[in-house]
Amino acid sequence: MITGMSTACFFPHTNTEDTFELMAKMNVRHAEVFFCCLSEYKKSFVAELKKRADDAGISVCSIHALSLQFEPQLFSPHSRARQDSLDIYRQVLEAGAALGAGIYVLHGPSNLKKARRFSVNYQYAAEYVNPLADMAKDYGVKLAWENVHWCWYAEPDFPEKLMPHITSDNLYFTLDVKQAAQAGHDPSDYIAPVKGRLVNVHLCDFEHSATKGIIPRLPFEGELDIVRFRRDLPQAGYNGGVILEVYSHNYKDLPQLQRCYERVADCFSKPL
C-alpha cells in the first residue's frame, strides 16, 4: 500500500498551494487535495497548484471538495439547483483531471435533521449517482463515495444496499476511520461491504469521551488498533492508498505531524 497526506491536515492555517512544500519536507510523496473554496476550482488556480505539486515532487492521487457548498444539491429534485451544482461538480472534475488525480471523494447528501427519522431511498440515490459516476469516468476519475456519519452513507451496509441499483461501472468507495467511529462502528466493519470497490482510505485515530463524544487523534495516539486495521485491509483485497487526514489542532507542531506520518508509512508500506 502507498501512503500519503491530505492538504486538509493544514486547514485552515495554510493555503492549499503552500502545503506541498511542507509535505515534501516530511518526505510525503502522495497527496489528497482538499479544496477549501469555490475559487480554488478555477483553472488558473489549479494550474498553479499543479506546478507547486510538481516542484515539490508530489503526485496528487485524490481530490476532495468542501462538500456542503454543492454536493447535496447534486441529488436535488429541483432541476435548477441540481444544474448549478453540476456546473461546480464539472469544474472539480476538470481540476482533478488537470492534477492527475484518479479519485474524487464524495460526501453526497447530508442528514442533518436529527428530529426526523431518516432512511435512505437507495433507488433514488442510484438514479442521481449513476450519471455522476459516469461523468467522472469521462475525466478519468473514479467517484469514491465516503462514509460520513452525518451523511447518507453512515452505516456499513450502505454500499450493499445501494449497489443492486447501480448501473455505472465507475462508483467506488472511500473508508474514513474517524467517521466510522463517529457513526458508532468499528472501522473494520466498513471493509467487507466494499470489497473490490474500496479505492481510498482516510486514516485518523480517535478516542471516546463521556462528555465530548468521539474525539479525533493522531494515529497511534488513540483507541484504534492500527495493526489489526492494517491486517484487515488486504484480507478484503485492498492494496490502495492510505491517506493521513487529521485536523490541524490534533498536533502541536510540524515535527510531531512528520513523526506521525513516518510511523503510518512504516506500518502500511511494509508487507505483512
Q: Which of 51, 44, 143 is nearest to 90 (CA)?
A: 143
- 74 vs 236: which has the higher pLDDT: 74
pTM, entire model: 0.96
Q: How far apart are CA 9 and CA 22, in angstroms?
A: 11
pLDDT for position 61: 98
Q: How far apart are CA 166 and CA 123, in angstroms?
A: 9
DSSP-derived pairing of the beta strands 30-34 and 2-6: parallel
Q: How far apart are CA 54 and CA 188, in angstroms?
A: 34
Angle at 92 between CA 89 and CA 98, to 5 degrees: 145
164, three cell numbers:
443492486
Residue 52, burial from CB neighbour count under 10 angstroms (0-12, 13-18, 19+): middle
Half-sphere exposure of 181 toward its Cβ, with a 13 Å CA cutoff? 19
Q: Residue 43: CB partners within 8 Å, gap ≥ 6?
A: 94, 95, 98
* pLDDT of 35 above 90: yes
pLDDT tens digits for range 177-193: 999 999 999 999 999 99
Residue corresponding to grid cell 488486504: 234
- Going along the chain, which residue ranges are E strands? 2-6, 30-34, 59-64, 103-106, 142-146, 171-176, 198-203, 205-209, 213-217, 241-244
pLDDT for position 115: 65
Question: Per CATH, which fold does 2-269 belong to?
Answer: TIM Barrel (3.20.20)
Extents of the domains making up the chain: 2-269
- 114 vs 55: which has the higher pLDDT: 55
Q: How far apart are CA 199 and CA 145, in angstroms?
A: 10
- Average pLDDT over the chain reads 96
Q: Using 50, 70 and 90 to split pLDDT, how confident is the model at 146? A: very high
